[in-house]
């Protein structure tokens, strides 16, 4: 059985699996590997300078003939320039996060780029559908990085009920069980971040991968509530310092301390003083393996699980 859905048709991909657009993590290598494995690879723009991102897009094009996308992190100050460049270069899809992409929708759509927006609420999802989004990603607060308030379990079915466009579930998804659960909730695709951080092709520092593999069930924490931009990270020395600033309600100091710390962890491997953004599901990521193998395993588990679910019930 193939796992084709409206989403695989929309994007021209084989499996309804989108890779999270993780800043300092989702480079051309990872995006191309996910796309070559039949999912939708995504380059995470984060705060990347425009010309560096342009090079990443070109490199991904040299590494895969399959569709891939770029995640636009809408809080970045030079986002207008980034969008202009993405329009010039052309990609199959963009995902957006950390804000409302309304002002870019028309330009992206005119260029034939599929627009998939992360939405933390039903209200924003409806607005995105009304202005032409091709699909939405409902990201629950189990996810790593910047999060909303609702869980995947509660957000996904409400989005599915409220919208006609496909809903992609994200947050807490790392295996075939969660994939099937997302579909049971009305999703037509999933976005996976944390597990792809431990893909062989993911270029983050090996010590950051090791931290994820070591993580147990209660090893993430959300910091930054006081700033209005809460972020889920693995617990470490930095997260404890940030928590203290949250408790003392010092958002400016918190922002200052948090600045540059994602690169410190992911690029330089300082997993004590850096920000190791990862989802709760880090506890279930136990090995480093090729991205295509991750996709294949999840698809196989999902296919086996669907008929097996019936066996959960007594006659």
- Near ligand TUI by CB under 6 A, which window of 4-12, 57-65, 92-100, 205-213? 92-100
Pick one of 3, 147, 185, 302: the residue that binds ligand TUI (CB under 6 A): 147
Among 67, 99, 186, 296, binds ligand TUI (CB under 6 A): 99
Is residue 133 within the footprint of ligand TUI (CB under 6 A)?
no
- Put the strands of the sheet holding 135-139 in their side by side order: 17-19, 189-192, 167-170, 135-139, 114-119, 93-97, 68-73, 41-44
Binding to ligand TUI, residues 208-247 (CB under 6 A): 229, 231
Least distance in Å: CB of 74 to ligand TUI?
7
Nearest to 91 by CA among 134, 41, 46: 41
**DSSP, res 174:** -
Q: Specify which residues 45 forms β-bridges with.
A: none
Q: Which x/- pattern over 253-292 shows residues binding ligand TUI (rule: CB under 6 A)?
A: ------------------------x---------------
Residues 292-311 that bind ligand TUI (CB under 6 A): none
Number of helices followed by number of strands (H, E) in the chain: 14, 11
Provide the sign of the torsion angle of the four alpha carbons 163, 37, 151, 260, taken in this order: negative
Question: In Å, how far are 10, 175, 187, 307 from 302, measured between CA atoms?
Answer: 21, 8, 14, 9
DSSP letter assigned to residue 172? S
Rounded distance, CA 188 to CA 227, Å? 33
Contact at 8 Å (CB) between 234 and 218? no
Contact between 146 and ligand TUI per CB under 6 A: yes
50 binds ligand TUI (CB under 6 A): no
In the complex, minimum distance from the CB of residue 102 to ligand TUI, in angstroms, rounded to a whole number: 9
Return the structure tokens found at 58: 């070109």
In whole angstroms, the minimum distance from the beta carbon of 122 to ligand TUI comes to 12
**Chain centre to alpha carbon of residue 99:** 14
Which of 105, 122, 124, 213 binds ligand TUI (CB under 6 A)? It is 124
Nearer to ligand TUI, 139 or 142 (CB): 139
Question: Which residue has its beta carbon closest to ligand TUI?
Answer: 145
Q: For residues 171 and 176, which CB has a smaller minimum distance to ligand TUI in the complex?
A: 171
Q: Which stretch binds ligand TUI (CB under 6 A): 56-64, 138-146, 177-185, 298-306?
A: 138-146
Cα 214 from chain centroid (whole Å): 21
Residues lying near ligand TUI in the complex (CB under 6 A) are found at 23, 46, 73, 75, 97-100, 118, 120, 124, 139, 145-148, 229, 231, 277
């Amino acid at each position: 059985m193939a796992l084709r859905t409206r989403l695989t048709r929309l994007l021209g991909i084989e499996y309804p699996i989108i890779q999270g657009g993780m800043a300092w993590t989702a480079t051309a290598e990872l995006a191309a590997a996910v796309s070559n494995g039949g999912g939708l690879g995504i380059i995470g723009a984060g705060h990347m300078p425009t010309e560096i991102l342009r090079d990443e897009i070109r490199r991904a094009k040299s590494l895969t003939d399959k569709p891939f996308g770029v995640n636009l992190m809408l809080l970045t100050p030079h986002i207008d320039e980034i969008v202009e460049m993405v329009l010039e270069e052309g990609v199959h899809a963009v995902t957006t996060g950390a804000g409302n992409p309304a002002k870019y929708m028309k330009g992206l759509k005119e260029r034939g780029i599929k627009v998939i927006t992360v939405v933390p609420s039903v209200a924003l999802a409806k607005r995105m559908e009304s202005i032409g989004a091709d699909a939405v990603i409902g990201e629950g607060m189990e996810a790593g990085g910047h999060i909303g308030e609702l869980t995947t379990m509660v957000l996904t079915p409400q989005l599915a009920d409220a919208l006609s466009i496909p809903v992609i579930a994200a947050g807490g998804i790392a295996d075939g069980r969660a994939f099937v659960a997302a579909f049971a909730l009305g999703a037509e695709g999933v976005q996976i971040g944390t597990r792809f951080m431990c893909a062989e092709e993911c270029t983050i520092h090996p010590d950051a991968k090791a931290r994820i593999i070591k993580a147990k069930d209660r090893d993430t924490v959300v910091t930054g509530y006081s700033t209005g931009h809460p972020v889920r990270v693995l617990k470490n020395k930095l997260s404890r310092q940030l928590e203290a600033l949250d408790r003392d309600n010092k958002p400016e100091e918190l922002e200052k301390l948090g600045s540059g710390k994602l690169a410190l962890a992911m690029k330089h491997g300082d997993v004590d003083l850096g920000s190791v953004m990862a989802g709760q599901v880090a506890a279930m990521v136990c090995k480093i393996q090729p991205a295509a193998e991750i996709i294949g395993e999840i698809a196989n588990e999902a296919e086996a699980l669907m008929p097996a679910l019936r066996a959960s019930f007594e006659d």
